Amino acid sequence: DTGVSQNPRHKITKRGQNVTFRCDPISEHNRLYWYRQTLGQGPEFLTYFQNEAQLEKSRLLSDRFSAERPKGSFSTLEIQRTEQGDSAMYLCASSFVRGDSSTNEKLFFGSGTQLSVL
Amino acid sequence: EDKVVQSPLSLVVHEGDTVTLNCSYEVTNFRSLLWYKQEKKAPTFLFMLTSSGIEKKSGRLSSILDKKELFSILNITATQTGDSAVYLCAVEGEETSGSRLTFGEGTQLTVNP
């Protein structure tokens, strides 16, 4: 069963360093989402892709954050000049939607990357 | 802006008890409401509800949606320690660029033996 795969599982970094996370979605899924979750909160939407196109970015996503999905398959999320406030669980999710928007979103989540910025 | 409010935020019960978790929402162009269970890492899908008044059921879990009152409940009967988790409610709203999910804070359920 190849679900959504994320790596690394954990990342500890010093403030000011750059970090990059990878997400491999379920292979036939055309949509890929990034969410951020802090302790005691629900996941907060960051951005999503349909195939290789980045269709929406949250206001939460500062200029230090960039996401790519170059070939419409895996995605990377990079955080530049990390700050302590970036410490969180970064969740990736994928789904399949038809082009006519007749399908509802049913996201399948990966296990996340836990980022700790010291 | 879409909004989801869950209550209670935490709940402690004994095995065998029945619990009801609440989710109220405000969303532009509602498409669906989803429930997820999050034990350690990845939220896992439980239910998707799109129509009012139709109960979705899976074993001891059931959920129903009231689109008029903008409300959903998740029921768990005969709770077991394995039901201990955070239960997340999310709504799917139609945006100009496509739909996406907005999550509530979650309800932390603890089932003691």
Helix (H), strand (E) at residue A115:
strand A113-117
Give me the mean pLDDT over the B67-93 stretch. 95
Place of tokens 């509800």: B49
Question: Hey, is the C-beta of B104 within 8 angstroms of any chain A C-beta?
Answer: yes
Classify burial at A54, counting beta carbons within 10 Å of its beta carbon; exposed 0-12, middle 13-18, buried 19 or more: middle
Per-residue pLDDT at B95? 65
Whether the pLDDT of residue B98 is over 70: the answer is no
Alpha-carbon Rg for chain A in angstroms: 14
Name residues whose C-beta falls within 8 Å of residue A23's C-beta, 6 or more positions apart in sequence. A4, A5, A6, A32, A34, A74, A75, A76, A77, A92, A94, A110
The residue with greater pLDDT, B94 or A102, is: B94
CA B105 to each of CA B12, B68, B85, B87: distance values in angstroms, whole numbers, following the listed order: 17, 22, 13, 9
Rg (CA), chain B: 14
Q: Sort B64 into a burial class: Cβ within 10 Å, 0-12 / 13-18 / 19+.
A: middle
> Which pLDDT belongs to residue B75?
98
B50 touches chain A (CB under 8 A): yes
Bigger pLDDT: B101 or B24?
A: B24
Instruction: Identify all chain A residues contacting B98, using CB atoms and an 8 Å cutoff.
Output: 48, 50, 55-56, 97, 101
Pairing outcome for strands B30-38 and A5-7 = unpaired
Chain-chain contact of B92 with A89 (C-beta, under 8 angstroms): no
**Three-state SS at B82:** helix
Beta-sheet pairing, A10-13 with A113-117: parallel
The pLDDT value given to residue B51: 80
Residue with tokens 């089932």: B111
Interface mutation target, options B35, B87, B100, B103, chain A, most CBs of A under 10 Å: B100
Which residues 6+ apart lie within 8 Å of A84 measured at CB?
A: A15, A117, A118
Q: What is the pLDDT of residues A37-65, one digit of tens each?
A: 998 899 999 999 999 999 888 887 889 99
Would you say residue B54 has pLDDT above 90?
A: no
* Ranges in chain A, pLDDT < 70: 1-2, 99-104
At residue B40, the pLDDT reads: 80
pLDDT reported for residue A99: 67
Strand segments (E) across chain B: 3-7, 10-14, 19-26, 30-38, 44-49, 56-58, 61-66, 71-76, 85-95, 98-103, 107-112
- What is the distance between the alpha carbons of residues B44 and B87, in angstroms, rounded to a whole number? 10
Output the average pLDDT for chain B: 91
**What is the rounded distance in angstroms from the CA atom of residue A115 to the CA atom of residue A10?**
6
